[in-house]
Amino acid sequence: MSGNKVDISQVDELIIASNTTLLGIGGLFVGSVFSVFGYTHIGGFAFSDVASAVNGLIIEQGFQSTDFPAGTPATTLVTRSLYGISAGDIDNNAIGVQIVAPFARIIYTNGAAAQTSFRLFFASRILRGL
């Protein structure tokens, strides 16, 4: 195996959601809407000591920044990727989706108990020439 390393200058990343604030029962984290135009995918993870609500992690993508209602998940005009996050799961909590629209945001809905541990991180990325 050669000693070649990835040239980090060939990786572009835009952080679109980062949160450690604990959520109460049914609590909601609604990330900001970001332009992800020119990036290839969104990847990240969510960890909580409490299971999310059913399909509690949502990656929304839309054609216009105005397609995303303030403070609540969209019900029209966007595409959504839905995931359930199990309590305490560090093995199956990484998520990646292809970018299909120029704008995106992350939403997380907590489950049936208040959290005592929570980490959420997502970024849009493009890799060039690797």
Q: What is the pLDDT of residue 1?
A: 41
Question: In a 10 Å sphere around its CB, with 0-12 CB exposed, 13-18 middle and 19+ buried, how is residue 102 labelled?
Answer: middle
Question: In a 10 Å sphere around its CB, with 0-12 CB exposed, 13-18 middle and 19+ buried, how is residue 125 labelled?
Answer: middle
pLDDT category at 4 given cuts 50, 70, 90 is low
Separation CA 26–CA 32 (nearest Å): 19
Residue 127 pLDDT more than 90?
Answer: no
Q: What average pLDDT does range 66-94 have in this prediction?
A: 94
Amino acid letter, residue 80? R
Q: Which residue has the tokens 């609604």?
A: 30
User: Other C-beta atoms within 10 Å of 106: how many?
Assistant: 24
Residue 97 pLDDT more than 90?
Answer: yes
User: Other C-beta atoms within 10 Å of 71: how many?
Assistant: 8
| Domains and their CATH numbers in the chain | 13-127 (2.60.120)
Q: What average pLDDT does range 121-129 have in this prediction?
A: 82
Q: What is the pLDDT of residue 126?
A: 85
Q: What is the pLDDT of residue 17?
A: 95
The predicted model scores a pTM of: 0.88
pLDDT tens for each residue of 13-61: 899 999 999 999 999 999 999 999 999 999 999 999 999 999 999 999 9
**Mean pLDDT across the chain:** 90
